[in-house]
Amino acid sequence: MRYKILFIFCLASVVIFSGCSWFQEKDVKSAPELAADGMEEYRQGNYKRAIENFEKLRDWYPFDKYAILAELKIADSHYQLKQYDEAVIAYQEFESLHPLNEAIPYVVYQIGLCYYEQITTVDRDQSATKKAMTTFERLQKQFPDHQYSKRAGEHIHTCLKSLAGHELYVGKYYFKKKNYEAALNRFKNIINEFPDVGIHKEALDYLALCETAMGK
């Protein structure tokens, strides 16, 4: 009797676990289904859900033709969520894995945009500005005739204006502190290193004031 009960218990366990396995298999979607679901969530602005679908697609079907789409849309979704650090990592990984893919100009442009979107006022740190400009310049060098290179040109002008504005801000600060030599170097840097972005006249005026003060 004891063995009979044990046999029935084991049989029931097999049936239960087999049933669970069957339901799990039913829940697993195909690569096209995950791609479609991910794109639909992305179109509706549900970027977190889109990431979930695309990550499943990437992890479950790494060699499927839709896996490349998933990698790119994961990066795009992070960008839309303003998760710029995560987006940069995802874009850079895509570029590293698929250096000859036709989407690379777009990917490099998006990396630049991730930094560009983090540019603040001229009185703040300009690290993001420098990274954005460097990335956009790389894009123009690698793909000079591409449409994204032309877009990058407009952003480069904004970056230059921000960097020059920062130099002017720091120069004025030194001038107010009567540290004329340090101020003079900042104003000279604007004239020598940056094209005219609308502040050259002001920089020249302060440069003359510094030279006058130092002369006295």
Mean pLDDT of 102-127: 97
**The pair of three-digit structure tokens given for residue 112, joined into one six-digit string:** 């630049």
**pLDDT > 90: percent of the chain:** 84
Q: Where are the beta strands (DSSP E) in 27-151?
A: none
Average the pLDDT over 150-173 and give the result. 96
Residue 51 located in a structural domain: yes
Cα separation, 109 vs 94, whole angstroms: 13
49-74, pLDDT tens digit by residue? 999 999 999 999 999 999 999 999 99
Tell me what the mean pLDDT of segment 90-94 comes to. Answer: 98
Is the residue at 21 inside a domain?
no
Q: Enter the DSSP assignment of 120.
A: -
Asked whether residue 113 is domain-assigned, the answer is no
More confident site: 1 or 127: 127
User: Which pLDDT score is estimated for 216?
Assistant: 66
Kindly report whether the global pTM for this prediction surpasses the value 0.95.
no
Residue 92 included in any domain:
no
Is residue 155 in a domain? no
Q: Do residues 90 and 75 lie in contact, with contact meaning Cβ atoms separated by under 8 Å? A: yes
Q: How many domains would you assign to the chain?
A: 1
Question: Is 164 within 8 Å of 197 (Cβ atoms)?
Answer: yes
pLDDT at 20: 46
Give residue 55's domain range.
27-84
- Whether residue 90 is contained in a domain is answered as no
State the Cα–Cα distance between residues 192 and 189, nearest whole angstrom: 5
Residue 192 inside a domain? The answer is no
- Whether 124 is covered by a domain: the verdict is no
CB 166 within 8 A of CB 128: no
